[in-house]
């Protein structure tokens, strides 16, 4: 069984450079002008809430060099988390993220829809393929499904735009929420081009499942597959299907073919009906980074490619046409100061030009 190696690998964000102690949480997309947009959290320390800013590097179509670091969103001492990007025609780019007030963490954010201590959700937009950005817009009351919700996480990774069915044109962002001590996953969607947003129903879960960081991909008219991290004891990926554009879901179920150590994973689909999924394919540690492919809407998965790193954490996949698959991913490596630090790297893989990519995996 042929598993592809990377054609090329580039360092995009290196912890300890550009004024940031740590870079984590990659998000990747191809803009309408063909540019690659690579996002991450720029952190003051390794902590998840460490005064994080949302940062960006761009690589123009056909170029090899990345632009200097650009800060897309910052908010004094507050922490900005979970970049999730969706590129649209005519230069539009939508980016969602969450804001934790200074001194608040995911574990200490109170529930509610308003007030100075709550976690809030923001949307920021570019109209020129990521070169410049509008002021962020607070969409907390649209994204939180009710006042009991403590925290949200958009993705991290990518959103999608539906291309088939009654809900063609719908914009969909994958979310998890925490109310009390458990997690749910759901879709936040817009039918007016991103002006207003509505939260769908949470995907039902059996007792031994806690769906967390989530990604979604389109499959047929109004069909969406979700693939999520499991915070419970079963170290396997979770999946569910929506047939109404993310408004409701089938029950979330573990996928034995996709082992996972409880880590974010990436999911993307192409125009030929193939899905690609990336994660650390190990039940205990973040290692053995593997990209899988599926031609049956996630019913079966086969290995497709391997970045070949000794460690592999969060990742984000992007497609350039039908010939190239990109994977932006975290790996750890020793630095001159003796610390092991995250480096976010970009690997490029070929897509075989066949009607069934899984036959080549």
Q: Tens digit of pLDDT for each residue in 9-25?
A: 999 999 999 999 999 99
Q: What angle do CA 106, 286, 16 make, to 5 degrees?
A: 70
Query: Which among 215, 196, 197 has a CA at the least distance from the CA of 158?
Result: 215
Query: Which among 281, 166, 265 has a CA at the least distance from the CA of 216?
Result: 265
The residue-averaged pLDDT of 36-65 equals 97
Task: Decide the pairing of beta strands 70-73 and 53-59.
Answer: antiparallel
The residue-averaged pLDDT of 93-115 equals 96
Res 352: pLDDT: 87
Peptide bond just before 156 cis, omega within 30 deg: yes
Q: What angle do CA 295, 321, 191 make, to 5 degrees?
A: 80
- Whole-number Å distance between alpha carbons of 168 and 68: 36
**pLDDT over 60 (residue 67):** yes
Overall CATH class of domain 4-360: mainly beta
* DSSP-assigned beta bridge partners for residue 319: 325
Res 335: pLDDT: 79
183-215, pLDDT tens digit by residue? 999 999 999 999 999 999 999 999 889 999 999
Res 353: pLDDT: 78
**pLDDT over 70 (residue 217):** yes
Number of residues written out for the chain? 361
Res 358: pLDDT: 45
The residue-averaged pLDDT of 92-97 equals 98
Render 241-304 in DSSP notation, one character per residue. Answer: EESSTTSS-PPPEEEEEEE-SS---EEEE-TTS-EEEEEE--SSSS--EEEEEESSTTSS-EEE
- Whole-number Å distance between alpha carbons of 217 and 266: 10
Alpha-carbon Rg for the chain in angstroms: 19
Indicate the pLDDT class of residue 1, thresholds 50, 70 and 90. Answer: low
Tokens 């997309």 sit on residue = 29
Res 142: pLDDT: 98
The residue-averaged pLDDT of 333-355 equals 86
| Residues 212/174, Cβ–Cβ less than 8 Å | no
Between these two residues, 354 and 357, which has the higher pLDDT value?
Answer: 354
Tokens of 25: 């949480």
- Whole-number Å distance between alpha carbons of 123 and 165: 26
> If DSSP codes are grouped into helix, strand and coil, which group holds residue 189?
strand
The residue-averaged pLDDT of 88-117 equals 96
Res 71: pLDDT: 98
Indicate the pLDDT class of residue 357, thresholds 50, 70 and 90. Answer: very low
- Whole-number Å distance between alpha carbons of 233 and 207: 11
- Whole-number Å distance between alpha carbons of 23 and 38: 12
Domain assignments of the chain as residue spans, ordered by start: 4-360
Tokens of 152: 């949200």
| Residues 185/212, Cβ–Cβ less than 8 Å | yes
> If DSSP codes are grouped into helix, strand and coil, which group holds residue 115?
coil
Helices marked H in the chain — which ranges? 140-143
Which helix (H) or strand (E) segment holds residue 317: the answer is: strand 315-320
Indicate the pLDDT class of residue 354, thresholds 50, 70 and 90. Answer: low
Q: Please report, in angstroms and rounded to a whole number, the separation of the first and last CA atoms in the chain.
A: 6
- Whole-number Å distance between alpha carbons of 49 and 217: 29
Kindly report the average pLDDT of the chain as a whole number: 95
Cβ of 307: how many Cβ atoms within 10 Å?
A: 21
- Whole-number Å distance between alpha carbons of 337 and 324: 36
Indicate the pLDDT class of residue 339, thresholds 50, 70 and 90. Answer: confident
| Residues 23/66, Cβ–Cβ less than 8 Å | no
Res 2: pLDDT: 64
DSSP state of 90: T
234-281, pLDDT tens digit by residue? 999 999 999 999 999 999 999 999 999 999 999 999 988 999 999 999
**pLDDT over 90 (residue 316):** yes
Tokens 């720029």 sit on residue = 42
pLDDT above 90 coverage of the chain, percent:
89
Query: Which among 204, 209, 221 has a CA at the least distance from the CA of 165?
Result: 221
């Amino acid at each position: 069984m042929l598993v592809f190696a990377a054609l090329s690998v580039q360092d995009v964000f290196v912890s300890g450079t550009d004024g940031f102690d740590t870079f984590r949480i990659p998000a990747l997309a191809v803009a309408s002008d063909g540019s690659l947009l690579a996002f991450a959290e720029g952190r003051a320390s390794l902590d998840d809430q460490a005064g994080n800013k949302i940062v960006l590097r761009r690589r123009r179509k056909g170029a090899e060099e990345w632009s200097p670091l650009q800060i897309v969103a910052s908010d004094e001492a507050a922490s900005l988390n979970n970049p999730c990007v969706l590129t649209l025609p005519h230069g539009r780019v939508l980016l969602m993220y969450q804001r934790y007030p200074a001194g608040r963490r995911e574990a200490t954010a109170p529930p509610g829809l308003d007030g100075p201590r709550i976690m809030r959700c923001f949307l920021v937009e570019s109209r020129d393929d990521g070169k410049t950005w509008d002021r962020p817009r607070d969409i907390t009351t649209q994204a939180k499904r009710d006042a009991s919700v403590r925290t949200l996480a958009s993705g991290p990774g990518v959103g999608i735009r539906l291309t088939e069915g009654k809900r063609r044109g719908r914009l969909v962002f994958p979310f998890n929420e925490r109310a009390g001590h458990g997690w749910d996953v759901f879709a936040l969607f817009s039918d007016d081009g991103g002006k207003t947003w509505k939260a769908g129903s949470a995907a039902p879960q059996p007792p031994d499942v806690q769906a967390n960081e989530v990604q979604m991909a389109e499959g047929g008219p109004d069909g969406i597959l979700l693939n999520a991290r499991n915070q419970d004891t079963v170290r396997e990926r979770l999946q569910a299907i929506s047939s109404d554009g993310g408004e409701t879901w089938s029950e979330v179920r573990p996928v034995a073919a996709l082992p996972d150590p409880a880590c974010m994973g990436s999911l993307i689909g192409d125009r030929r009906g193939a899905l690609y999924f990336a994660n650390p394919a190990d039940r205990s540690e973040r290692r053995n980074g593997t990209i899988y492919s599926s031609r049956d809407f996630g019913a079966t998965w086969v290995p497709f490619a391997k970045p070949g790193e000794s460690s592999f954490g969060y990742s984000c996949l992007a497609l350039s046409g039908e010939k190239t698959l990109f994977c932006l991913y975290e790996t750890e490596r020793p630095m001159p100061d003796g610390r092991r630090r995250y480096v976010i790297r970009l690997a490029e893989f070929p897509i075989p030009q066949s009607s069934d990519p899984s036959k080549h995996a």
